[in-house]
Structure 1
Amino acid sequence: MHRRHANLALSQNISAVLENLLKNYDNMQRPASGVGPTRVRTNMLIRSMGPISELDMEYSMDCYFRQMWRDERLSFNSSIDQLSLNIKMLEGIWKPDTYFLNGRGSYVHMITRPNKLIRLSSNGSILYSMRLTIKAKCPMLLQHFPMDKQTCPLIIGSYAYTDRDLVYEWDQEINVAWPAAIYLSQFDLISFPFRNATVHRKSGLYSILQVNFNLQRHTGYFMINVYLPCTLIVVLSWVSFWINREATADRVSLGITSVLTLSTISIESRTSLPKVSYATALDWFLLVSFGFVIATLLEFASVHFFTKVTYEHG
């Protein structure tokens, strides 16, 4: 009974503290307004990444995105150092207008409730965490495909505040965390360097955060489904060298079948790639394979023609 009364008194005390904090609070005004820029520390925990689409040149990732800043207007004196608040509290306080500069479509998970968390410390420090699925642009150069390396950036910044009002910084302790258990089906993550920077727009300089995910592609799939079959088809086309030169139909049908099979493989390998104006390493390999098969047909045609001419004039 005594514990129940103590918990009730503590709850009432916390409610009174929060009501008093928001009584004269203006959520339209940023912290430290008129003194200096508000500093927002940020870190991310990557939960999963993928798919990575070469066709659309974009990637998606699931992460915990955390922002921390200090608002002295929300400091309080209490026996509790930190309060975990309901997300409705977010509507009453100032928040940074963070967005992803190269984002294409991001959303907060809402099942079973909005996946958001807010904690308020007695000194006015605020932790704002949410679970996001981010879809962002990833410009790719595919000249060396499928033995290529790609860099997929994620750029974070403020939509309206310049660096005079809002400055973003990576959290020195955590910054970007990538658990070792994460596995990508087509790529290996080589590194993920991050940096603080500023970008220039018409309205001024803006503080941004950037992390680059450096990826190296797995070649096993293409070795099994493209390189090995094409090599075997080229070797198979050489069988016509040992077929009787009078068996014209057999030689021609073998050569045409090899060409059609290579054409099918070539078309299938391009379905997941954008229509770029340059040739990839895979295109060059298929082109060389076509050259070997066509050379086999031309060799047979030449031998058959000159043999026939020699026989008729012999």
Structure 2
Amino acid sequence: DTIISIIYTLLIVICHNAQGQKNQLLSVAPDCPSLEKGDIYTQSEFLGRLAHQCRYDRLLLPTYQTGDTVYVHASAYVYFIQPAEAHDLNFKLHFLLQLRWTDPRLAYALYSPERSRIIGESDLRERIWVPHLYMSNEQSSSLMGTDSKDVLISVTPDGEVLFSRRMQAVLYCWMNLQKFPFDDQTCSMNLESWKYNASILRLMWEKNNPVRLSSELHLTEYSLLDFWTNESVVRGDIENMRLGGGRCNVNFL
């Protein structure tokens, strides 16, 4: 009887927690659009309900209610490297940047169990929270086309967000030319968190193959000997407008 009572109590607690999570979204405000029977809505209609301003604020961190650290996993696929120009001290990259994180507010498995994922472009980006990152050694950067073409976002039923963005960037590369032309140069791309420090947002590389090079990538005047990734934390520096955020680096030799 004791064992049965314990099991019964655990089941009640589990059901209560699940219902509590569901009610949290359903009862945010009386005039919030319902999420019940989410499978009957189109993707656009359901997203409008899920990310409605009555229950979702895109300016707030995904973990603002718990205060937990947001983990953002980065990866890159490099299409093209234009060799560094010695007199300009820079090099150009064309690449696909992917960022992955979990936003519990976007978890919709309870409301739309038949929906495998939500996919959108710039319209979806404008509705949800996206980490504000930048390349600290950039000279200039831009999308490789229009927003709608070169930004793609997907959301899974458990709230995992995958943000993909095709970019081109001109990056500074500080070279030592004392042994030119018999020299080796290391050029880097440094990706940093702009708005949040490392205790709030943790930026890290994906564990497996975080940076991949296109099989069609060829350099005419230089040889790419190696490349590697590493992570670091940038020390806070108010004078230079840095809050001490995380940094992901990829280095090309």
Identify whether the pair has TM-score above 0.5, normalized to the shorter chain.
yes
- Of 194-203 and 134-143, the range deviating more from structure 2: 194-203
Look up the match of 1:302. Answer: none
Aligned AA for 1:30?
L
Look up the match of 2:59. Answer: 28
Look up the match of 2:93. Answer: 61
Q: 1:131 to 1:26 in 2, by over 3 A?
A: same
User: Do the aligned partners of 1:197 and 1:209 also contact (CA within 8 Å) in 2?
Assistant: yes
TM-score (normalised: structure 1): 0.62
Alignment of 1:264-279 (within 5 A): none
- Of 105-114 and 57-66, the range deviating more from structure 2: 105-114
Q: Which structure has more helix as a fraction of its residues?
A: 1
The reply to whether residue 213 of structure 1 matches residue 241 of structure 2 is: no
TM-score (normalised: structure 2): 0.77
Aligned AA for 1:126?
V
Distance 1:158 1:111 in 2: 24
Instruction: Give the counterpart of 2:77 among 29, 45, 66.
Output: 45
User: Do the aligned partners of 1:17 and 1:76 also contact (CA within 8 Å) in 2?
Assistant: no
CA RMSD of aligned residues (A): 1.8
Q: 1:112 to 1:126 in 2, by over 3 A?
A: closer
Q: 1:11 to 1:56 in 2, by over 3 A?
A: farther
Aligned AA for 1:41?
H
User: Do the aligned partners of 1:142 and 1:148 also contact (CA within 8 Å) in 2?
Assistant: yes
User: What is the CA-CA distance between 1:110 and the residue it aligns to?
Assistant: 1.9
Look up the match of 2:196. Answer: 161
Q: Return 5+ residue gaps in structure 2 as ranges.
A: 1-37
User: Do the aligned partners of 2:71 and 2:201 also contact (CA within 8 Å) in 1?
Assistant: yes
Instruction: Give the counterpart of 1:19 among 42, 45, 48.
Output: 48
Aligned AA for 1:73?
R
Aligned AA for 2:49?
N
Look up the match of 1:127. Answer: 162
Distance 1:80 1:202 in 2: 45
User: What is the CA-CA distance between 1:85 and the residue it aligns to?
Assistant: 1.6
User: What is the CA-CA distance between 1:13 and the residue it aligns to?
Assistant: 4.2
User: What is the CA-CA distance between 1:173 and the residue it aligns to?
Assistant: 2.3
User: What is the CA-CA distance between 1:20 and the residue it aligns to?
Assistant: 1.9
Q: Return 5+ residue gaps in structure 1 as ranges.
A: 1-8, 215-314
User: Do the aligned partners of 2:91 and 2:173 also contact (CA within 8 Å) in 1?
Assistant: yes
User: Do the aligned partners of 2:106 and 2:159 also contact (CA within 8 Å) in 1?
Assistant: yes
User: What is the CA-CA distance between 1:182 and the residue it aligns to?
Assistant: 0.9
Distance 1:184 1:201 in 2: 37
- Of 191-200 and 203-212, the range deviating more from structure 2: 203-212
State how many pairs are aligned: 206
Distance 2:188 2:217 in 1: 18
User: What is the CA-CA distance between 1:86 and the residue it aligns to?
Assistant: 3.4
Q: 1:113 to 1:13 in 2, by over 3 A?
A: closer
Look up the match of 1:295. Answer: none
Whose RCO is larger (CA < 8 A, sep 6+)? 2
Return the index of the structure with the highest Cα Rg. Answer: 1
Distance 1:11 1:191 in 2: 52
The reply to whether residue 182 of structure 1 matches residue 211 of structure 2 is: no
Distance 1:132 1:96 in 2: 16
Q: 4+ residue runs of structure 1 moved beyond 6 angstroms?
A: none
Instruction: Give the counterpart of 1:75 among 107, 112, 119.
Output: 107
User: What is the CA-CA distance between 1:16 and the residue it aligns to?
Assistant: 3.7
